[in-house]
Structure 1
Amino acid sequence: MALDTLEKALAEVGYGRWQIPVVIITVMVHMLAPVHLIGSTLLNAQPDFRCRAVSQVVNFTTSTPNFVLRPEDNFVPNSTDLEDFYNNECRASTSSSTSSSSPTPEWRSTGLASCPEILQDDSTFSSTVSMEWQLVCEQSWLRPLFQMAYSVGSMVGSTGGGHVSDRYGRKRAIQIACGINLAAIVGMLFLPWYPGVLAARVLSGCSIGCMILPVFSLALETTPSRHRTLAGMLLGTSFSAAVVLFAGVGFFVRTWRWLLLAGSLPLLVVLPLAFLVAESPRWLSQQGRGHERRSS
């Protein structure tokens, strides 16, 4: 009876200005998801690279442009193994002796037996997770864990988010998820350890999974039944638009930490709205708290 009365009340009120905060927070949450859900394509990309032994001496002139050397180029450095440039191959064996000359700044020490020093092509990506922690050769198995960590967290968050949403309310679930997501973003931006970044990715998966279901339920439960189907379809398209927008941002932002920050900016809108938006009247009615509808 109470739910029938609620549906009649929603039909009388209609769809208008009082749903605007709910629509905004729903759209912003969907825009927040792509950087975590599909962002590893850009955040964790592995560009072409070349390995060399620590004992190998490479003497290039200082005028050599970075990462443009190819066998077909006219420039011929003081080396006879041009075919080795960016061959993405790990070395079968290396020498333990030290180099007789200091490595050029582009070469980075990795500590890997099959790739003691690495030269990575930064013409496309200035910095990625894989580039920062040299996830190549015997450490290449660590690269897929970046996306796997999010997927594991998302499964936990989707299950837990539904429980929290039904028990404590859509609004409270969104607030908790926002706090977790903020902690995860800060962790990924500043943690200097790859295991710490993976832990933050798990938290980001939990928060997004915990956020999407309650916010979508809130949007539909505040919509009159005659508009509910259309509203559900239109609000769902915001995710597709966010994917396209994120791809455009990724074209201009080539450093993974800055790209993560740019893709997480919708959180600045979601966080305050999570405390200002009204609670779902349907959930309040199911909990026997219908009298709180006006105050919420």
Structure 2
Amino acid sequence: MSVNFSLEGKIALVTGASYGIGFAIASGMAKAGATIVFNDIKQELVDKGIAAYKEAGIDAHGYVCDVTNEAAVNELVEKITKEVGPIDILVNNAGIIKRIPMIEMTAEQFRQVIDVDLNAPFIVSKAVIPSMIERGHGKIINICSMMSELGRETVSAYAAAKGGLKMLTRNICSEYGQYNIQCNGIGPGYIETPQTAPLRERQADGSRHPFDQFICAKTPANRWLKPEELAGPAVFLASEASDAVNGHILYVDGGILAYIGKQPQ
């Protein structure tokens, strides 16, 4: 039996993929044969992304676009279609988090997180779906989170957005599966990125950071995950190998959601 994981001839738009998880996913898709297109909110970030892809041997196409602006997103999709080709794969990766206790968070701050993490995936998906319907195929991958399932202190807006993104994923599947469009999510666990580096640094006395200890104790793999470990699941969900998988959230979490945690000694 031949299983087709190839992305040859496919054009993939990965939002906010100048660095981090988005960059790792896009790089994995490029290795599987996809042409990579990405955006970021500033030209400076796009330029850094282009340089990073070039260093990795990937000829990526970068654009400046605020994915919360519907008119700008529609213009971006039109431009990509004209300059690169129609989008076969969309990865809604761009996101933000504000770690603020709920009663200290303003409604404006809450709305900002919802806007980037939930409204933007709606806007970008809405922009690419008509072309996917017309061509009879399409793959949408939403980057969800552990917080699509779990709550934790200081992340009320993020958890609300990522929980909503899980349900948006299922609804896109429900509405557009009949057109051979598959919409799935990836829920990363705790990933080694520059943003989480301070939480993994050894303390002055040589001990591990309390949050580092907490995450490893809650993870059966007993470690933080690497960004590139998200590439394989993303390639699977972007390829023909997953044509019968729709409305699913694939948690790449080292087993956290399956685990109640270690018993106190």
**Same-fold call, TM > 0.5?**
no
Q: TM-score, normalised by structure 2?
A: 0.28
Q: TM-score, normalised by structure 1?
A: 0.26
Higher share in helix:
1
Which gives a bigger RCO, structure 1 or 2 (Cα 8 Å, sep 6+)? 1
